[in-house]
Structure 1
């Protein structure tokens, strides 16, 4: 297995610089493929505008029109996320307006799944909306292999992920849930995926024809779930990763990371033993006036079916 991972790393790990923008634009014209970029957003007014502006300036309205549509899928923001994104030039779609017959569930995976209903690109690129000092290379880097190599189906971004501390950034210390939960799970149960540098990263692109076949965990487990299911659907050699530099974003607190870790572990459990698990809960603790107070929450367990099974989606694609 180690030899297979090493071979995959040599053949399917690239840098964004390996595919210049001119080459990508030529490949896009030759193949006729279209590209949709989706930003799932929940209360990201501080960062979403700059991301939209950079993508539009560098990959839509300038000399390299690589991206055909840019959609911000608002997951129920209470701040000015929708207004800021629209002012910057994105098409803003509210989660609850998509497939209204199916009441929306909370979670990032829910909006990613629903985004397939309101986008049309042959290639769909997901980018988190909380990135700071954003570069459009995050988009061009991960759509590049899909535009130029017909054998590639799914591409993850890889990057340095510093942890912001009171003493400045700590290189290599971001991605705590990746190192403590996701990487051990993948190495133990899906060792073919051990070569992915950022398996939980929110920046990845895939062919619509693949995404519409995959179930989407509605919460934090979506990245792990899609990666594992893509492996089983199209095989390791259809997966790739691209180095796009450095990722800076808003870090979450320890308890939020605990909830994320539980959801990711649950997603792995479901794929290892479907149908034999009880609905899990997670108890965490806050210090109150009289000591530690337990707080119990349900772990994300819901999954949406492959979009290809949704009648409205089939009707929209046929039209």
Structure 2
């Protein structure tokens, strides 16, 4: 299986520079409605970075060249000025709770990504995390490239270096949950996907026709779940990856990474043969040192619910039929 992953790596890995913007625009025009592109930024308290990302995408890929048709920020309940900043920069801002209001929302990034399928119109959906610093629009144009020029590619992941902090010694040390949890899981249980450099990365694009058929884990397991389910539904050849350089973003502390790892492990567990659905919620105990000595337990809720394929939601099916 690792031999298959190595062969895939040589065939389905590109760089953002491999396809010019002119080539992408020509392919988009030739595709007609199937080449329409929606870019979605899921955002929760990202006022410091979301505006810069939106400005770059609007300037470079909507005004300078018409590659993006729709630029949307889906606010996941921010308490800062995320929505205001994003709207001022030129994005359409939609609150998570406004999408499919009959279905109560649950916390989690995957919940926002799933609901965005109902709110967007493009036949190609591109997701970009809203906490990126020193953002370059090639993150988006790069991962759109294979979807516009390779008809049999359905999901494209960005790959990049992830520095940990600004010190030179931190180079390439980001992505700790990827290296300690996701990569071992893939190599052990889905070795065909061992060649995916950033399986948990938040920058990826896919065809709507694929995404609407997949369940979405509501939390941090969403990227791993979509990747594994794409393999099962469409095959390894439907997956590609594009090198976009360096990704800089806010890093989380060890306990937050632990909770992320727990959600990812539960997502993987539910996809192993012989394992049924996981509980909707599960507690995870962590600890903090008390000033007076000893440790105090902290129990956190890990949301492991999965939303059904959007194609099965009546409102979505009615919209697509119309």
SS in 2 for 1:61: helix
* CA deviation map 1:162-182 (0-9, x unaligned): 0006x4561110000000000
**Structure 1 match to 2:49:** 47
Which consecutive segments of 4 or more residues in structure 1 shift more than 4 A? 276-279
RMSD: 1.1
- Residues 285 and 210 of structure 1, relative CA distance in 2, 3 Å threshold: same
User: Following TM superposition, by how much is the alpha carbon of 1:159 offset from its aligned partner in structure 2, in angstroms?
Assistant: 0.2
Whether 2:75 is the aligned partner of 1:65: answer: no
**Structure 2 match to 1:255:** 255
Partners of 1:128 and 1:308 in 2: how far apart?
24
Residues 278 and 304, structure 2, Cα contact 8 Å, conserved in 1: no
Partners of 2:106 and 2:168 in 1: how far apart?
37
User: Following TM superposition, by how much is the alpha carbon of 1:280 offset from its aligned partner in structure 2, in angstroms?
Assistant: 3.5
- Residues 274 and 309 of structure 1, relative CA distance in 2, 3 Å threshold: farther
**Structure 2 match to 1:21:** 21
**Structure 2 match to 1:200:** 200
Partners of 1:198 and 1:185 in 2: how far apart?
13
User: Following TM superposition, by how much is the alpha carbon of 1:23 offset from its aligned partner in structure 2, in angstroms?
Assistant: 0.3
SS in 1 for 2:63: coil
Partners of 1:276 and 1:137 in 2: how far apart?
38
**Structure 2 match to 1:231:** 231
TM-score normalised by structure 2 residue count: 0.96
Partners of 2:75 and 2:2 in 1: how far apart?
41
Q: How does 1:114-129 map to 2 (within 5 A)?
A: 114-129=115-130
SS in 1 for 2:271: helix
* CA deviation map 1:256-276 (0-9, x unaligned): 000000000000011114327
Whether 2:77 is the aligned partner of 1:86: answer: no
- Residues 288 and 132 of structure 1, relative CA distance in 2, 3 Å threshold: same
User: Following TM superposition, by how much is the alpha carbon of 1:296 offset from its aligned partner in structure 2, in angstroms?
Assistant: 1.1
Whether 2:289 is the aligned partner of 1:292: answer: no
Partners of 2:169 and 2:162 in 1: how far apart?
9
**Structure 2 match to 1:130:** 131
Partners of 2:211 and 2:162 in 1: how far apart?
26
Alignment length, in residue pairs? 317
User: Following TM superposition, by how much is the alpha carbon of 1:60 offset from its aligned partner in structure 2, in angstroms?
Assistant: 0.3
SS in 2 for 1:285: strand
User: Following TM superposition, by how much is the alpha carbon of 1:18 offset from its aligned partner in structure 2, in angstroms?
Assistant: 0.5
Partners of 2:312 and 2:226 in 1: how far apart?
17
User: Following TM superposition, by how much is the alpha carbon of 1:5 offset from its aligned partner in structure 2, in angstroms?
Assistant: 1.1
Residues 111 and 217, structure 2, Cα contact 8 Å, conserved in 1: yes
- Residues 28 and 281 of structure 1, relative CA distance in 2, 3 Å threshold: same
Any stretches of 5+ residues in structure 2 without a counterpart? none
**Structure 2 match to 1:317:** 320
SS in 1 for 2:165: strand
Point out the more displaced range, 272-281 or 178-187: 272-281
Partners of 2:20 and 2:72 in 1: how far apart?
25
Q: How does 1:107-186 map to 2 (within 5 A)?
A: 107-164=108-165, 167=167, 170-186=170-186
Partners of 1:243 and 1:303 in 2: how far apart?
30
SS in 2 for 1:29: helix
User: Following TM superposition, by how much is the alpha carbon of 1:316 offset from its aligned partner in structure 2, in angstroms?
Assistant: 1.1
Partners of 1:274 and 1:210 in 2: how far apart?
24
